[in-house]
């Protein structure tokens, strides 16, 4: 029996041992979810030994990966072959299973869509305890198609076969400044459509909004050689360089993880962007998963809320979201967001779905801009927690967009199933979890059980 088969037997036995009246919850060493739940009756589902790269095949340009494997681990295994996943989500400890069943996006998404779009095969532990292999062309195609955005409510990915793409050793970056959001959105549309900038082909596109008159589009192009490379894993901070360096060079590995060292810009909340503090922090602690653990500790113990009360400051709401808005409505969204929320910076990442995915309802071939914003915002006097997040939800859907479910959501049940295609979800849910062992998508992602 192979190591993977042993790990599959272990998680199947763990699942079978969970009492019928307890909702299974996958035990993970790290998480990038931001749904902080109230304590409920759940049982931990062990997934130890499901965190390995099984095989990288440079001939077929594919990798066989266990579901709990992180992208950091996978990238370290593929780069020696001159390969990478088509879409590498921004943070090192996002797992393959998490990105496929939830959210994953990066600067190659304008061309290659979301991580699940390069998946060829899924081995899944279903809600009724079966182990099935799902592909787009076999008897479990309905499960394969519904799995993205299902957040573990249809089952758990045990093994994933994913397509890989060739890379070069370096990435040349060009940061293009705009003072007008409409012109920025038009440029993003033109660059993504032509897959070029100033007559040269590009491999990556994303952007950063620092305020109404300061936006940047960053294009990246693979290169065999580089005149120098920048290092943003120590004292220097990547997002700050966007405003001061029109041209930059990174190794491919440092490019893929350029956002991780400072969790985009969220590390400033912990003081580690101050030079003295940063010089004292070990480099191994400058990672998104370290910051995420600090946020989790704060949520569990209410440290920030207590300090705010002590300092007589307004109550703050956590506004941690990724939303997709059609590019032609992107400037309108930024105007609403600036006037109503006012949080900066905001990440901007263009994407196109390559085909229809029923539970992730983006129009295939249509260019969307993913806006990512993560932080705390003081609540207006008299408003309750959820004020800003509800406002954002309404704005996104009014503009023809879509919202990821990895964080807080406030939809009413009927509205949720209309927006997230309950007509496609429920037949698959009944087929693979007829007893309702796993929570449904609304109960898990909105009610936060």
**With contact defined as beta carbons under 8 Å apart, do 235 and 278 qualify?**
yes
Task: Give dist(CA 433, CA 435) in Å, integer.
Answer: 6
Helix (H) or strand (E) holding 404: none
Which pLDDT score is estimated for 437? 92
Which pLDDT score is estimated for 302? 65
Task: Give dist(CA 322, CA 415) in Å, integer.
Answer: 19
Q: Is the dihedral of CA 265, 271, 277, 282 positive or negative?
A: negative
Which pLDDT score is estimated for 38? 56
Task: Give dist(CA 427, CA 143) in Å, integer.
Answer: 10
Burial (CB count <10 Å: 0-12, 13-18, 19+), residue 92 = buried
Question: For the chain (length 449 residues), average pLDDT per consecutive 10?
Answer: 88 88 74 53 75 97 96 97 97 93 93 96 96 97 97 96 98 98 98 96 98 97 98 96 97 97 90 93 89 72 64 80 97 97 97 92 95 93 92 96 92 95 97 94 83
Q: Is the dihedral of CA 192, 213, 90, 203 positive or negative?
A: positive
Which pLDDT score is estimated for 351? 97
* Residue 437 neighbours by CB distance under 10 Å: 17
Question: What is the full DSSP assignment across 93-106?
Answer: T-BHHHHHHS----
**With contact defined as beta carbons under 8 Å apart, do 76 and 58 qualify?**
no
Task: Give dist(CA 172, CA 221) in Å, integer.
Answer: 5
Task: Give dist(CA 341, CA 377) in Å, integer.
Answer: 7
Q: Cβ neighbours of residue 381 under 8 Å, at least 6 residues apart? A: 314
Which pLDDT score is estimated for 367? 98
Which pLDDT score is estimated for 293? 81
Cα separations (Å) of 158 from 11, 26, 56, 214, 354? 9, 12, 17, 44, 24
Give the tokens for residue 161. 């076969």
Let me know how long the chain is.
449
Task: Give dist(CA 75, CA 162) in Å, integer.
Answer: 12
The beta strands (E) that lie in 82-154 are given as: 83-85, 119-126, 131-134
Around 65, how many Cα atoms within 13 Å sit in the side-chain half-sphere? 30
Prediction pTM value = 0.93
Give the tokens for residue 215. 């936006």
**With contact defined as beta carbons under 8 Å apart, do 407 and 320 qualify?**
yes
């Amino acid at each position: 029996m192979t190591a993977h088969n042993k790990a599959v037997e272990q998680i199947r036995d763990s699942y079978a041992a969970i009492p019928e009246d307890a909702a299974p919850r996958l035990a993970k060493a790290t998480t990038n979810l931001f749904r902080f739940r109230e304590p409920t009756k759940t049982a931990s589902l062990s997934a130890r030994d499901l965190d390995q790269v099984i095989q990288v095949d440079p001939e077929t340009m594919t990798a066989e990966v266990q579901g709990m494997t992180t992208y950091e681990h996978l990238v370290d295994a593929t780069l020696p072959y001159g390969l990478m996943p088509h879409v590498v989500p921004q943070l090192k400890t996002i797992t393959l299973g998490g990105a496929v069943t939830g959210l994953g996006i990066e600067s190659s998404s304008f061309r290659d869509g979301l991580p699940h779009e390069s998946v060829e095969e899924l081995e899944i532990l279903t809600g009724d305890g079966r182990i099935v292999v799902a592909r787009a062309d076999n008897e479990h195609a309905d499960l394969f198609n519904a799995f993205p955005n299902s957040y573990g409510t249809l089952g758990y990915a045990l093994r994933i076969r994913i397509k890989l793409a060739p890379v070069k050793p370096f990435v040349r970056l060009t940061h293009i400044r705009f003072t007008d959001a409409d012109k920025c959105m038009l440029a993003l549309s033109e660059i993504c459509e032509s897959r070029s900038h100033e007559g040269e082909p590009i491999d990556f596109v994303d952007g950063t909004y620092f305020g109404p008159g300061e936006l940047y589009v960053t294009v990246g192009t693979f290169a065999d050689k580089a005149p120098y490379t920048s290092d943003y894993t120590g004292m220097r901070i990547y997002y700050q360089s966007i405003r001061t360096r029109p041209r930059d060079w990174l190794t491919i590995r440092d490019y893929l993880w350029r956002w991780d060292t400072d969790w985009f810009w969220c590390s400033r909340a912990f003081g580690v962007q101050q030079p003295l503090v940063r010089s004292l922090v070990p480099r191994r602690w400058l990672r998104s998963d370290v910051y995420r653990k600090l946020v989790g500790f704060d949520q569990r113990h209410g440290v920030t809320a207590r300090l705010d009360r002590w300092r007589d400051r307004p109550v703050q709401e956590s506004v941690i979201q990724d939303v997709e808005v059609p590019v032609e409505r992107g400037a309108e969204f930024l105007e609403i967001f600036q006037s109503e929320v006012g949080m900066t910076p905001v990440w901007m990442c263009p994407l196109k779905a390559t085909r229809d995915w029923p539970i992730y309802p983006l129009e295939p071939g249509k260019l969307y801009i993913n806006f990512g914003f993560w932080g705390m915002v003081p609540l207006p006097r008299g408003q309750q927690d959820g004020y800003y997040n509800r406002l954002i939800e309404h704005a996104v859907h009014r503009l023809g967009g879509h919202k990821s479910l990895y964080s807080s959501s406030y939809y009413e049940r009927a509205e949720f199933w209309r927006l997230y295609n309950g007509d496609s979800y429920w037949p698959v849910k009944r087929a693979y979890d007829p007893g309702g062992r796993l929570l449904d998508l609304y109960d898990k992602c909105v009610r936060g059980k």
